[in-house]
Copies of this chain bind each other. A is one copy, B any other.
Amino acid sequence: MKSRMNITEIAKQAGVSIATVSRVLNNPSLVKESTRQRVLDVLQSTNFKINAIAKNLRTKKSYSIGLIYTSVLMLFYNMISKGVEDIAIGKSYNVFFCNSGDDPIKESDYLSLLYEKRVDGIIVSPTGNNRELFENIISYGIPVCFIDRIVKGINTDSVVVNNRESSCNAVSYLIEKGYGRIGFISGPKWTWTGIERFKGYLDAHAAHNIEFLEELVRFGDFQYDSGYEGAKELIKEGDIDALYIANEPMAAGALEYLNEKKIRFPEDIGFLMWDNPYWSTLVKPQISVVSQPMYTIGTTASELLFKRITAAEAYMDKEPLKITLNTELVIRGST
């Protein structure tokens, strides 16, 4: 087993001091051409790779960021993480990916771990808990950027979409298209996203002077099963003209139920869902969706974070940036 090179060894072989090796690595222009070349040669021939751990300890930067999100099994978060990573790797940063599964305890564990690893910044789709921990982290000067959701009372950068307005638009479209009773499988009330989309549903009804009926709403947990159950209950309970669903996994669950019962859209029922997974164009007819700019959410959050990380102090104290991106209502065959 070969042992790894370090700059002391390089210095020895090149006949210079470790300071000179370090300069060649970080500030080549400070070193005389001939010396530099000599060091470079040794660096090359020994296949030297810097020990980032030691460097990080000394410079107090880790060149890593953390990304905490709900689930690696949702296209929504996958696209976001791709965006985050593409920006990060462009700056030679690595990304620690963490699946919280929306569990506050796991979130807290990950936050602690990332803190210990001294990541230079954290992008997180927060569960809504752990407020104190977030405040703590931010107070130590570690930039935090929220994505998809925000935590009330925590003032930091965020990148979200206009959930309420988008939801209102989507439901308004259904109403204007002539759908009467619009069943809604909502996200949970304890999530910001869930609430906002629900408010949008109410807004659309109010704007069209349609009475809101509680019986038309089921609050799921954004997971597959609750979509299946929601569809089952809503359809059993009474006539539903359209089904409007707040995210991808619940929509998949609902679809499964419709398939089982051989309920067809748009003939029997309209079907409109949030997120734009690529299976939404694979089924027949293709499904109308509220499409979020997922990749852009990721790149935007990442760029925001790096602005803070590399900021001149001037920027550090700037007010948090709250960015709201727009969604797109994509009408296809299901409505």
- In the bound complex, how far is the Cα of B283 from the Cα of A248, in angstroms? 15
* A23 part of interface (Cβ distance < 8 Å): no
Looking at A75-83, A204-212, A236-244, A299-307, the stretch in contact with chain B turns out to be A75-83
Q: Evaluate whether A139 and B73 lie within 8 angstroms (CB atoms) in the complex, with A97-B85, A99-B85 already known.
A: no
* A310 part of interface (Cβ distance < 8 Å): no
Q: Is the CB of A283 within 8 A of B284?
A: yes
Q: Is the CB of A73 within 8 A of B79?
A: yes
* A34 part of interface (Cβ distance < 8 Å): no
Q: Is the CB of A72 within 8 A of B62?
A: no
Q: Is the CB of A97 within 8 A of B95?
A: yes
- In the bound complex, how far is the Cα of B170 from the Cα of A109, in angstroms? 44
- In the bound complex, how far is the Cα of B4 from the Cα of A139, in angstroms? 10
Q: Is the CB of A118 within 8 A of B52?
A: yes
Q: Is the CB of B139 within 8 A of A2?
A: yes
Residues of A within 8 A of B (CB): 1-4, 47, 49-54, 56-57, 62-64, 72-73, 75, 78-79, 81-82, 85, 89, 92, 94-99, 109-110, 112-118, 136, 139-141, 252, 255-256, 259, 277-279, 281-284
Q: Is the CB of B1 within 8 A of A139?
A: yes
Extra inter-chain contacts (15) besides given A53-B53, A72-B85, CB under 8 Å: A1-B140, A4-B140, A73-B78, A73-B82, A78-B78, A89-B98, A94-B114, A95-B96, A95-B97, A252-B282, A256-B282, A278-B279, A279-B279, A279-B283, A283-B284
Q: Is the CB of B117 within 8 A of A94?
A: yes
User: What chain B residues lie within 8 Å of A109 (beta carbons)?
Assistant: 89
- In the bound complex, how far is the Cα of B286 from the Cα of A256, in angstroms? 11
- In the bound complex, how far is the Cα of B141 from the Cα of A118, in angstroms? 25
Q: Evaluate whether A141 and B284 lie within 8 angstroms (CB atoms) in the complex, with A94-B98, A96-B96, A113-B94 already known.
A: no
Q: Is the CB of A96 within 8 A of B94?
A: yes
User: What chain B residues lie within 8 Å of A117 (beta carbons)?
Assistant: 52-53, 63-64, 94
User: What chain B residues lie within 8 Å of A51 (beta carbons)?
Assistant: 57, 116, 118
User: What chain B residues lie within 8 Å of A85 (beta carbons)?
Assistant: 72, 97-99
User: What chain B residues lie within 8 Å of A279 (beta carbons)?
Assistant: 252, 277-279, 282-283
- In the bound complex, how far is the Cα of B112 from the Cα of A282, in angstroms? 39
- In the bound complex, how far is the Cα of B136 from the Cα of A51, in angstroms? 16
User: What chain B residues lie within 8 Å of A52 (beta carbons)?
Assistant: 116-118
Q: Is the CB of B72 within 8 A of A82?
A: yes
- In the bound complex, how far is the Cα of B22 from the Cα of A228, in angstroms? 52
- In the bound complex, how far is the Cα of B5 from the Cα of A115, in angstroms? 12
Q: Is the CB of A62 within 8 A of B73?
A: no
User: What chain B residues lie within 8 Å of A75 (beta carbons)?
Assistant: 73
Closest chain-B Cβ to A131's Cβ sits at a distance in Å of: 14
Closest chain-B Cβ to A305's Cβ sits at a distance in Å of: 17
